[in-house]
């Protein structure tokens, strides 16, 4: 079905007809000029917005729309968790080009609903408009946290431990695999098209004969790139252990870039150890295939959506006992700078070489 058959308001009604609210703070969701939310007693409100642009943040050549919807929600919920908050609601705004059908947007929304259900979040509104350049997704997430629990980037203190959740670099290596296979496929399409025209045969049939890429052994990397998971579980474990978080940020643009944000806003230095950076086996193997340094991928790759945070030195035993958290270094005086200690004991200046949305490459 073409979107024009429904129109803007018909599409919104179609997509949100099965939307139900979960949170008591959601008094009125979709259906009026505004959502109506009730602040929770003793809490403060957290608000974050992320925009994803086709051709910049995602490539529909290999990104399924359902996965894209899931990821678009997760990158916003990750920001709420990075403030030690609990996400409650989101609004969804879409700019859609004419090449998309109603069924395509249904797929996108099904991924969004899946992510919201997993994290007990309500979809309470948004907007749709036409686009001349492709698909754009803008999501605003709203969360809550007690004032005393909110973790900012500026609270790190000298001797604090630097911790990360999960493992790093997998999402970046997943992207490298997808881009490599896309390039191979495009080359095969060009060759098949040329040969078919030369032989006078059907081009579409020739393209259909091209074998699908084999991603065996790369499944974890692809999932980290296309279907990341916001670390609600880590926040819950830290709360249960009564760990005081002094600063926190989620890793969207690379470990080095995010750590420098904390150091700059906390006015401190840092020391992290290469050998302590958590890596997955598939990440290491694939980096070797691409002739890349796996530590560089972990430091600068981005899109891991893991949590980077600091805790007091006295919390060492508590955080070390929590599964999937690794202590990778410590906070220092600002005059000592920001350094990476390599596996062989050499010291290098830490540089922010992660993803920059405003550069040409």
**pLDDT by residue (tens digit) across 78-92?**
999 999 999 999 999
Residues 6+ apart with CB under 8 A from 344: none
Query: What percent of the chain clears pLDDT 70, i.e. is strictly above it?
Result: 92
pLDDT tier at 360, thresholds 50, 70, 90: very low
CA dihedral (276, 279, 281, 283) positive or negative: negative
Give mean pLDDT, residues 252-269: 96
**132 in the same domain as 66:** yes
* 127 and 165 belong to one structural domain: no
- pLDDT averaged over the chain? 92
Report the pLDDT value the prediction gives residue 126, as an integer from 0 to 100.
87
* Residue 357 covered by a domain: no
Taking only the tens place, the pLDDT of each residue in 18-35 is 667 778 888 877 666 677
pLDDT of amino acid 103: 94
Is the pLDDT reported for residue 60 higher than 50?
A: yes
pLDDT digits (tens, 9 = 90+) for 213-252: 989 999 999 999 999 999 999 999 999 999 999 999 999 9
Is the pLDDT confidence value at 9 over 70? no
pLDDT value of position 15: 65
Query: What is the total count of domains within the chain?
Result: 3
* 190 and 169 both lie in a single domain: no
Domain of 188? Answer: 183-218
Q: CATH number for the domain including 128? A: 3.30.1330.10
Residue 294: C-alpha distances to residues 275, 284, 286, 298, 334 (Å): 11, 6, 9, 6, 28
Mean pLDDT is lowest, of 100-114, 193-207, 243-257, for 193-207
> Which CATH number covers residue 231?
3.90.650.10
Same domain for 254 and 191, yes or no, is: no
pLDDT of residue 351: 85
Per the domain annotation, does 152 fall within a domain?
no
- Do 16 and 82 lie in one domain? The reply is yes
Instruction: Give yes or no: residues 303 and 165 share one domain.
Output: yes
Is residue 70's pLDDT more than 90? yes
Domain match, 168 and 304 both: yes
Q: For residues 339 and 350, is the Cβ–Cβ distance under 8 A?
A: yes
- Shared domain check, 105 and 212: no
| 156 located within any domain | no
- pLDDT of amino acid 354: 52
Domain match, 203 and 292 both: no
Q: Measured between alpha carbons, how far is 110 from 71 in angstroms, rounded to an integer?
A: 12
Predicted confidence (pLDDT) per residue in 170-190, tens digit: 999 999 999 999 999 999 999
What pLDDT digit, counting tens, does each position of 129-169 carry?
A: 999 989 999 999 999 999 999 999 999 999 999 999 999 99
| 93 pLDDT higher than 70 | yes
Residue 78 and residue 169 in one domain: no
In a domain, 17, yes or no: yes
**Number of residues written out for the chain:** 361
In a domain, 58, yes or no: yes
In a domain, 286, yes or no: yes
Question: What burial class does residue 291 get, using C-beta atoms within 10 Å of its C-beta: 0-12 exposed, 13-18 middle, 19+ buried?
Answer: exposed
pLDDT average, residue stretch 95-100: 93
pLDDT at 40: 83
- Confidence label for 5 from pLDDT (cuts 50, 70 and 90): confident
Share of the chain above pLDDT 90, in %: 78
| Per-residue buried b or exposed e for 87-118, using 16+ beta carbons within 10 Å of the residue's own CB | bbbbbbbbbbeeebebeebbbbbebbbebbee
pLDDT of residue 32: 64
What pLDDT shows up at residue 21? 79
**Does residue 13 fall inside a structural domain?**
yes
Kindly state the average pLDDT of the residues 294-322: 96
Quick check: is 295 in a domain?
Answer: yes
Average pLDDT rounded to a whole number, residues 297-310: 96
Using left for φ > 0, alpha for ψ between -120 and 50, and beta otherwise, residue 210 falls in beta
Residues 211 and 319 in one domain: no
């Amino acid at each position: 079905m073409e979107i024009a058959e429904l129109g803007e308001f018909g599409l919104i009604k179609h997509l949100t007809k099965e939307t139900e609210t979960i949170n008591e703070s959601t008094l009125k969701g979709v259906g009026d000029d505004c959502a109506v939310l009730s602040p929770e007693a003793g809490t403060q409100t957290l608000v974050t917005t992320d925009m994803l642009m086709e051709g910049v943040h995602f490539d529909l050549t290999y990104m399924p729309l359902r996965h894209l919807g899931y990821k678009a929600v997760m990158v916003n919920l990750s920001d709420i968790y990075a403030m030690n908050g609990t996400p409650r609601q989101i609004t969804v705004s879409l700019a859609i080009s004419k090449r998309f059908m109603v069924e395509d947007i249904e797929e996108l929304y099904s991924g969004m609903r899946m992510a919201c259900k997993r994290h007990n979040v309500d979809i309470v509104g948004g907007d749709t408009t036409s686009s001349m350049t492709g698909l754009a997704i803008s999501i605003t997430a709203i969360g809550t946290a007690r004032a005393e629990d909110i973790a900012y980037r500026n609270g790190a203190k000298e001797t604090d431990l630097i911790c990360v959740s999960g493992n790093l670099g997998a999402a970046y290596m997943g992207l490298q695999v997808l881009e490599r296979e896309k390039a191979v496929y495009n080359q095969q399409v060009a060759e098949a098209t040329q040969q078919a025209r030369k032989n006078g045969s059907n081009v579409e049939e020739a393209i259909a004969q091209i074998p699908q890429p084999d991603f065996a052994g790369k499944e974890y990397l692809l999932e980290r790139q296309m279907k990341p998971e916001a670390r609600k579980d880590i926040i819950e474990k830290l709360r249960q252990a009564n760990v005081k978080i002094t600063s926190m940020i989620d890793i969207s643009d690379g470990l080095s870039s995010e750590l420098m944000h904390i150091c700059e806003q906390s006015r401190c230095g840092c020391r992290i150890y290469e050998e302590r950076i958590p890596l997955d086996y598939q990440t290491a193997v694939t980096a070797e295939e691409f002739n890349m340094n796996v530590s560089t991928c972990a430091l600068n790759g981005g899109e891991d959506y893991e949590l980077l945070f600091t805790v007091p030195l006295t919390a060492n035993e508590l955080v070390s006992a929590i599964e999937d958290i690794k202590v990778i270094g410590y906070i220092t005086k600002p005059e000592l700078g920001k350094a990476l200690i390599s596996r062989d004991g050499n010291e290098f200046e830490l540089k922010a070489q992660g993803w920059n949305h405003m550069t040409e490459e």
